[in-house]
Amino acid sequence: MSDSDTPKNEQDAFIKAKTERENPFLNIIFNIFLPIFILNKGTGLIGPFWALILALSFPMGFGLYDWWKRKKTNFFSILGLLNIAFTGGLALSGLTGIWFAIKEAAFPGLIGLFVLISAFTRRPVIQKLFLNPQLIDVELLQTKVEASQRQHDFFRLLKMSTILLSFSFALSAFLNFYLAARIFKPLDLQLQETARSEILNTQIAEMTQWSFVVILLPSMAVLLLVFAYLIRGLKQITGLNLDQILRKN
């Protein structure tokens, strides 16, 4: 089957996988860890306003750099920017307690909604995460999908995998709200601003620490199940085994 005979959806999936190469570790460091660390530790040193500005500079700067390098919008940087802006904004405005719980649940919820919507487009999020030339032998996979003439099944597999992936963010949103509601307690308005900032920073740090256990591990388990489902489907469609599908470095 020639490229001209291949369905556009299936071509887009492979083309997208070949051209987009984000670094997930840099995304996490610059969009999540460094901004949160600065908000937690920098407020006492340079004040809440400048700590917020410095924290915002990392996802903003990385997003601009990534756009300049790849000429593509980094949605993780946008989400990181919004997350830090809301976190710092709530702290500066003096809102605590349930507002932080709502904020903590809103962002994974919004990401999950974005992932779910992408399942019904020509570019499901799953192809960006897993159809990566550094992880999957994309060229061999494309050859086998075309040879099997099961392009429709392939794209349907991407759609279903993306829908399942959105459930991991729904789980994260629920766990985020539960955890944040227990950690972020209303602060005494009679306390001085410095004392309130220190208590709030302690709560943010506690939320960050516990989220790795309470939120990250269950979400990673769901992610691994989705990956197993995707690999199983690829094996059925292409006839390849796991060693053939995965990229050998």
Domain boundaries, given as residue ranges, for the chain: 3-245
Give the contacts of 181 (CB within 8 A, at least 6 positions apart): 98, 101
Mean pLDDT of the chain: 75
pLDDT bin (cut points 50, 70, 90) of residue 225 is very high
Closest-CA residue to 168 (of 218, 127, 210): 218
Vertex 71, ends 164 and 27: CA angle to 5°? Answer: 50
In angstroms, the Cα distances linking 154 to 88, 193, 217, 235 are 43, 57, 29, 11
Angle at which helices 151-183 and 98-118 pack, to 10 degrees?
180
- Whole-angstrom Cα distance, residue 143 to residue 140? 5
Is the model's pLDDT at 73 over the cut of 70?
no
Could you say which DSSP state residue 53 is in? H
pLDDT of 176-206, one tens digit each?
888 888 888 877 767 776 777 677 777 777 7
Closest-CA residue to 99 (of 192, 184, 198): 184
Q: Structure pTM?
A: 0.66
In angstroms, the Cα distances linking 175 to 15, 30, 34, 48, 206 are 36, 24, 23, 27, 15
Is the model's pLDDT at 146 over the cut of 60?
yes
Could you say which DSSP state residue 188 is in? P
